[in-house]
Chains A and B, each alone.
Chain A
Amino acid sequence: MLTARHLTKEFEIANEKSVTVLSDINIDIQVGRLVMIKGRSGSGKTTLLNILSTLDVPTKGDVFLDDRAYSSLSVKEKEKIRRHDMGFVFQSVALVPIMTAYENVDFGLRTAGVKEDRDQIISEALESVGLADRMKHMPREMSGGEQQRVAIARAFAHRPRIIFADEPTGALDTAGGIRVTLLFKELIERYGTTVVMTTHDMGLMELADVMYEL
């Protein structure tokens, strides 16, 4: 479904020097898999995830979604893909602070153009992450783990084909991290979603279907 070929990413730093973060990366991601990308800090996990999710562009190489090269897509087409086919869970949680849990999920659905049965979808999504009773709560009223679960609910509520999760367990304790990862597994089983997540937590590696190391 998602293929990356010869991805190289260089960042320019001071004095016209550049640093190579990714070099000749090739990845094949199949549908319905939990793909984990591991590596030490600064190894380029987030950069790779950003490139795979169209948020960033590689210096060399290309990414193909269903054989369509990202390099051939316009900004609008990329936005459309992100809206409909992708879901995001960011390391910084990144809920909209002025929206309740319910509204955050609703916002994701509206962005994806879902018009029908939004109430039901939102309730189910929040129920499935165990937050049915926190729907009306603002992010600032929830713990880090709860916020992360709302972010996951928002990411999958519109049934994207692929969810990108950048260190979704980074701010959580081990038990919390395992719970989130099992949640992803459940989504994959229930909806056939593909999940690509980065992590440096060795304890979670065995839950992965596919593992890439940078």
Chain B
Amino acid sequence: MLRFILLKIKNKYKLYLCLLVGLIFMEASLSLIMMFRTGSLNKLIQKGFVTEYEETGKFPAVLSRVSAVDIEAAGCDIEDIIDEMNSYETSWHKYLDVPMIDKQHLLYMKGFKAEPSYRGSTMTFDIGYMDTLNEHIDIVDGQESDITENDIPGNNTPKSDIPGNDIPGNDTPGNDMPENTYPCYVSEYTADAYDLVVGEKLNFENLSVYISGIIREKRGDYYWNKGLYENGHMLYVDKTVIQNIMDNNVTELTAYEMYDIVDYRYVNASNVKGIKSILAQFHERDEMFDENISPVIVSYERESTSLMAVLYVIALPLVILVMIFILMMAVRIIDSEMNEIAGFVSRGVSRKRIIGMYLLEYMILSGAAFIPGLLAGYLLGKMAAGADDFLGFHILHSVVSTKAYRFTPDMVIVGIVAFIISTIIMMLPVAVKSRSTLVDHHDKRVKSSDIPFWEKYFIDVFLLVLSIYLLYNYKGQLDKLSEAVLGGEGIDPMIFADALLFLVAAGLIILRLIFCLVSFIYKITGRYLKPAAYAGMLQIMRTRKRSGIVSVFMVVTVAMSLFNANIARTINSNNEARLRLDLGSDYIIREHFEMKIKGQKPPQTWKYIEPDPALYTKLSGELGIDSFTRVIRDDELEARNASKVVKNATLMGINTKEFGLTANMKEDEGEEHWYKYLNDMAAKADGCIISKNLAEQLELKVGDTFTYSRIAPVDSVGIYASATGCVAAIVDVWPGYEKYSYTYNEEGKIVCEERYLVAANYATVVNVFGITPYEIWLKGDVAPDKVSGRLNEMLEEASRRLEDFESNQVNMEKMKGSALIQITNGLFTVDFLVALFLCVLGFMIHWISSIRDRELLFGIYRAMGISMMEIEKMLFLEQVFLTLVSVGSGVLSGVAATALFGELFAIVYLPQKHSVPLRNVTAVSDVIRLFIVIILAVIICMTIIRRIVKRLNITEALKLGED
């Protein structure tokens, strides 16, 4: 039997090769989903840790324990306390299989009074010991001491390498330091607060220490989960000093804090649940235990629901398409072997045996597709993961990282599932047709209708009505859906299914209409048609059922390709527009403003010291920045009219001309060109641009006046000044203005807060409110690294401090590298390419095998005197109607779906921070690409057909008919 099967495959190798391609894509598309699933979840969780780090400035994976020490229970031995810490640490890492990067263990005693050697007033310190402290500090003054390495118990020998002997007038002790005097470090903060200097001696009740070094944390060292500043005024000593104090029956509070910093890169999609559960158990058993990993995991779980929904709904249509392709190919193969099958059945071969033969054949084929399919899935996955835009895939030089996307064992498991599914799909036509005898087969041919079943039973109309009904319902629930997505509940997958339903139904309806049109044209012109056109028209109308399946496949693939392309482009373009508006300009710099407060008790006075803005003129000149401007921003503004007060307003103090040159806003993003608003505002010193929602709240219109007030940065003052503004313009969209902000409440539910805008003239704001911190907005096509690098250098030279630096380009790259966008761009790109490939392949197979089936017919035509040219014309007519019309239907259906469903899809990707209207993007280049590919396929197909027809020998064709 095996030989027979192999011979059969060999004889129809072209059909089987195409089927094999379908099977490879089946393996590839399913394994690709698994690769993306694991990769995107890993990426999501890693992004969670990074975001946590960026927002809090602390390492995002720290296990901690803070506990008071019962000295008596500890037996007054520091080693016992250290052992206790170590035993906790051991138990954590026994269960939690995540490597430790570092640990910060602090043992301290609180509230020691000391008399400094250089002055009279008593100071209060904590005395602490930190393991491996020397490795994590920079010595600001003094020099490194082995305070943490003195492990000789009861060692009273002070260090000889005490710095500070060279300080004039310094009587720092050296080798002649008296007994019971130990070296210690103090932080810069403590040294400043108490005016301590290196070498200064501090005398406690039973011992003395001298300051051997003033220290600060090493920059960027993960060790510093709790910084020196947070430890308060602490003297850092060796553990022997602590032991010494303990030996002296100290009664001060003794405690330890331990922070184990673990490598969050080892937290991934496969172990995250286990880690969460273990951490929960730690919390349950030890109320002193704490960690900051769980919140990241909770946030990950919330986002992953939505992410996975998006992944499946984008990837599954491709799987369905590949399934249809496999089914189409299997049906074609079975149809071509129907005479043999019917012959077997008629001769008494059992159905079981026929099914067994085909099962073996298809299992061989599916098996052959297994390894290449996995490989193709991996390569497609890598390519898709590197896509930083729709069709913008790069493997080697992508701006987005593809590291998270790698081969996983899940892919093999899914590969086996694909093997089973493919075999079942291929067996479907066998199961249906393996009952037919020769007589049944003939009867079926005689009784078969020309009208496809979906047209006969109006399934297309029903599906279209259903999809529009669902769409109507979803559109009525936009706000709810948006909230659900923002709340992490994920999008209803039925939205995507509905879009797919619409694509198919619209395609079928358009095809129905086109066939109606063909029939109509035939009715009117049929009488006058020449033989080629006459035969061509009849061929189109009468082979609807057979070619209809191919047409539907083409319509769906083209429509889906275009829809995917449009949605991806719409999402990318709108996301970019929103990010651009969010930030307001190419670069935003927030520099630290020193504030001087006078008076200890209210009413206090305060004043900001403005850093010299000339630095930015220099920076712009050096880097070739196009323009820059100062923008005062205050998110705690109050606006009011006679009767109403609105909080949650943002003040922007702007120089209208500079702002116009520097801010990013497209001319068509407002109702009128935004320059007009700026000009109107500039015309009056008190002119203001306000947001539409503020105008509605305070019932303001252009020309009306209102009051806006700022809150002082010193708590005790409250509102410190108010200005009167005259409404110059009312806007809904403005650079740097986010209309809505979202926060999670205590129950973890999303809460939306509406924000209002008041943009006033910079000079007026300064005049009324004085100098307050402002942002520097820069505009220019300069690489972010270059800007931030030079900016940091210049600020460091000027001893100034940068608080924040944001770049639009970096934000864009982050957005494109996010798991959601990576899935969207990558999978839509793969969907587009694979769908197009299958479409072309399906089309060519249909045509070439259709020509083979019609060799006799062409023989008859030629015998009757129809020229080769006329036969080619006939085929061209068929191609135009069936191919180009199908492609046209697909394009129409895709564009219609984009227009109708774009808004729904945007919910997932474009949180409603703005009133920026969604712009559906249909890139002409995508349509051109699509048509180029199809036209190329038509040309290749026509060339092949021409060769077949040309080689056609009339007498042989007729002989073939006889056979």
A residues engaging B (CB < 8 A)?
46-47, 50, 53, 55-56, 75-76, 79-84, 86, 88, 90-92, 94, 96-99, 103, 106-108, 110-112, 140-141
Q: Shortest CB–CB separation between residue B537 and chain A, in angstroms?
A: 10
Q: How far is the CA of A141 from the CA of B534 in the complex (A)?
A: 22
Number of A-B residue pairs with CB-CB distance less than 8 Å in the complex they form: 76
Could you tell me the distance between the alpha carbons of A174 and B169 in the complex, rounded to whole angstroms? 140
Does A96 lie within 8 Å of B865, measured CB to CB? no
Q: In the complex, are the beta carbons of B860 and A141 less than 8 A apart?
A: no
**A-side contacts of B961, CB under 8 Å:** 90, 92, 94
Are B538 and A82 in touch, CB under 8 angstroms?
no
Say if the beta carbon of B539 comes within 8 Å of chain A.
yes
Is B271 an interface residue, CB under 8 A from the partner?
Answer: no
Contact B865 A110 (CB under 8 A): no
Please tell me which one of the listed residues A50, A84, A97, A110 contacts residue B530 in the complex, with CB atoms under 8 A apart. A110
Query: CB < 8 Å: which of A80, A88, A110, A140 contacts B534?
Result: A110
Chain B stretch 520-538: residues in CB contact (< 8 A) with chain A: 529-531, 534-535, 538
Which residues from chain A contact B543 at a C-beta distance below 8 Å? 98
Residue in A50, A56, A79, A94 whose beta carbon sits within 8 Å of that of B865 in the complex: A79
Give the chain B neighbours of A82 by CB distance below 8 A. 863-865
Instruction: Tell me which residues from 89 to 137 in chain B have a Cβ below 8 Å from any Cβ of chain A.
Output: none
Q: Give residues 523-566 of B contacting A (CB, 8 Å).
A: 529-531, 534-535, 538-539, 542-543
- Residue in A closest to B954 when the chains form the complex, CB atoms: A55
Q: Which of B445, B529, B857, B860 contacts A110 (CB 8 A)?
A: B529
Interface of A: prevailing SS: helix
Bound: A94/B859 CA distance, A: 9
Point out the residues of chain B lying under 8 angstroms from A141, CB to CB: 446
Interface residues of B (CB under 8 A from A): 445-446, 529-531, 534-535, 538-539, 542-543, 856-857, 859-860, 863-867, 954-955, 958-959, 961-962
Closest 3 A-B residue pairs measured CB to CB?
Answer: A83-B865, A92-B961, A82-B865
Residues of B within 8 A of A81 (CB): 865
B533 closest partner in A (C-beta): A110
CB closest chain-B residue, reference A151: B860
9 residue pairs A–B, Cβ–Cβ below 8 Å: A46-B959, A47-B955, A82-B865, A90-B860, A92-B856, A92-B961, A96-B538, A99-B542, A107-B534
A46–B863 Cα gap in the complex (Å)? 14
Q: Which residue of A81, A92, A103, A108 has the most chain B CB atoms within 10 A of its CB atom?
A: A92
- In the complex, the chain B residue whose C-beta lies closest to that of A84 is B865
A96 to B962, CA, bound (A): 14
Kindly list chain B residues whose C-beta atoms are within 8 Å of the C-beta of A107.
Answer: 531, 534-535, 864
A56–B863 CA distance with the chains assembled, in angstroms? 10
Instruction: Evaluate whether A90 and B864 lie within 8 angstroms (CB atoms) in the complex, with A107-B535, A110-B531 already known.
Output: no
Residue of B nearest to A49 (CB): B955
Q: Chain B residues near A83: list those with CB within 8 A.
A: 864-865
Residues of chain B within 8 A of A47, CB atoms compared: 955
Whole-angstrom CA separation of A106 from B856 in the bound complex: 19
**Least CB distance, B535 to chain A, in whole angstroms:** 6
Contact A96 B867 (CB under 8 A): no
**What CA separation (Å) do A106 and B955 show in the bound complex?**
23
Task: Provide the bound-state CA to CA distance between A76 and B870, in Å.
Answer: 12
Assess whether A91 is in contact with B538, with CB atoms less than 8 Å apart: no
Add 20 more A-B contacts to A56-B955, A79-B865, A111-B531 (CB < 8 A): A46-B955, A55-B954, A55-B955, A55-B958, A56-B954, A82-B864, A83-B865, A86-B865, A90-B860, A90-B863, A90-B961, A91-B958, A94-B856, A94-B860, A94-B863, A96-B860, A106-B534, A107-B534, A107-B535, A140-B445
Q: Is the CB–CB distance between A98 and B539 below 8 Å?
A: yes
Q: How far is the CA of A76 from the CA of B866 in the complex (A)?
A: 10
Identify the closest chain A residue to B542 (Cβ).
A98
Cβ–Cβ < 8 Å partners of A106 in chain B? 534
Distance between Cα atoms of A31 and B406 in the complex (Å): 83
Complex Cα spacing A108 to B530, Å: 11
Does A88 lie within 8 Å of B857, measured CB to CB?
Answer: no
Instruction: Please name all residues of chain B whose beta carbon is closer than 8 Å to the beta carbon of A55 when the two chains form the complex.
Output: 863, 954-955, 958
Whether B863 lies near A103 (C-beta < 8 A) is no
**Least CB distance, A59 to chain B, in whole angstroms:** 14
A167 to B798, CA, bound (A): 107
A83 to chain B, nearest CB (A): 3
B543's nearest neighbour on chain A, judged by CB, is A98
Residues of chain B with a CB closer than 8 A to A84's CB = 865
Partner of A79, one of B867, B955, B958: B867
| Alpha-carbon separation in the docked complex, A47 to B863 (Å) | 14
Q: How far is the CA of A80 from the CA of B865 in the complex (A)?
A: 6
Chain B residues lying within 8 Å of A91, measured Cβ to Cβ, are: 958, 962
Q: How far is the CA of A79 from the CA of B531 in the complex (A)?
A: 14
Interface centre among B531, B856, B860, B954 (most CB of A within 10 A): B860
Distance in angstroms from B857 CB to nearest chain A CB is: 6
- Quote the shortest CB–CB distance from B322 to chain A (angstroms): 31
- Chain A residue numbers with a CB within 8 Å of B865 are 79-84, 86, 111-112
Expressed in whole angstroms, the minimum distance between the Cβ of A71 and any Cβ of chain B is 17
Contacts A83-B864, A90-B863 given: A96-B955 contact, CB under 8 Å? no
Task: Give the complex CA separation of A28 and B962 in angstroms.
Answer: 28
CB distance from B812 to the nearest CB of A (A): 57
A111 near B955: Cβ-Cβ < 8 Å: no
Chain B hits for A75, CB < 8 A: 867
Given contacts A55-B955, A140-B445, contact A88 B531 (CB under 8 A): no
Bound together, the chains give a CA A112 to CA B530 distance in angstroms of 10
- Which chain B residues lie closer than 8 Å to A90 at the CB level? 860, 863, 958, 961-962
Given A76-B867, A83-B865, check contact A97 B857 (CB 8 Å): yes
CA distance A107 to B529 in the complex (A): 10
A103 and B538 contact, CB distance less than 8 A: yes
A97, A98, A140, A141: most-surrounded residue (chain B CB, <10 A): A98
Evaluate whether A111 and B866 lie within 8 angstroms (CB atoms) in the complex, with A55-B954, A55-B955, A91-B962 already known.
yes
Q: Are B958 and A94 in contact (CB under 8 A)?
A: yes
Is A99 in contact with B958, judged by CB distance below 8 angstroms?
Answer: no
With a cutoff of 8 Å between Cβ atoms, the chain A residues found around residue B955 in the complex are: 46-47, 50, 55-56
A76, A92, A108, A140: the one contacting B958 at CB < 8 Å is A92
Q: Please, how many angstroms separate the alpha-carbon atoms of A18 and B6 in the complex?
A: 34
Instruction: Find out whether the CB atom of A111 lies under 8 angstroms from the CB atom of B954.
Output: no
In the complex, how many angstroms separate the beta carbon of A29 from the nearest chain B beta carbon? 19
Distance between Cα atoms of A111 and B531 in the complex (Å)? 6
- Determine how close the nearest CB of chain A comes to the CB of B522; give it in whole angstroms: 11
Cα of A106 to Cα of B865 in the assembled complex, Å: 15
**How far in angstroms is the closest Cβ of chain B from A6?**
21
Q: Which residues on the B side are within 8 Å of A108 (C-beta)?
A: 864
Chain A residue numbers with a CB within 8 Å of B446 are 140-141
Give A14 Cβ to nearest chain B Cβ, in Å: 17
Which residues of chain A come closer than 8 Å to B958, judged between CB atoms?
Answer: 55, 90-92, 94
Please determine whether B538 and A98 come into contact, CB atoms closer than 8 angstroms.
yes
CB-nearest residue of chain B relative to A98? Answer: B542
Q: Which residues of B contact A86 (CB under 8 A)?
A: 865
Find the B residue at minimum CB distance from A56: B955
Chain B proximity of A175: nearest CB distance (Å): 23
B900 to chain A, nearest CB (A): 38
Chain A residues positioned under 8 Å from B445 (CB to CB): 140
Shortest B67–chain A CB gap in Å is 89
Q: How far is the CB of A150 from chain B (nearest CB, A)?
A: 13
- In the complex the two chains form, what is the Cα distance from A112 to B534 in whole Å? 13
Q: Which of B445, B543, B864 has the most CB of A within 10 A?
A: B864
Instruction: For A119, give the chain B residue with the smallest CB separation.
Output: B527
CA distance A123 to B542 in the complex (A): 22
Q: B856 near A99 (CB under 8 angstroms)?
A: no
CB distance from A102 to the nearest CB of B (A): 12
Chain A residues within 8 Å of B860, by CB: 90, 94, 96
Q: Which residue of B lies closest to A51 (CB)?
A: B955
In the assembled complex, how far is the CB of residue A92 from the closest CB belonging to chain B, in whole angstroms? 4
Residues on the A chain within 8 Å of B530, using CB: 110
Least CB distance from B452 to A in Å reads: 16
Q: B722: shortest Cβ distance to chain A, in Å? A: 86
Closest Cβ of chain A: how far from B873's Cβ, in Å? 14
CB of A12 to closest CB in B, whole Å:
13
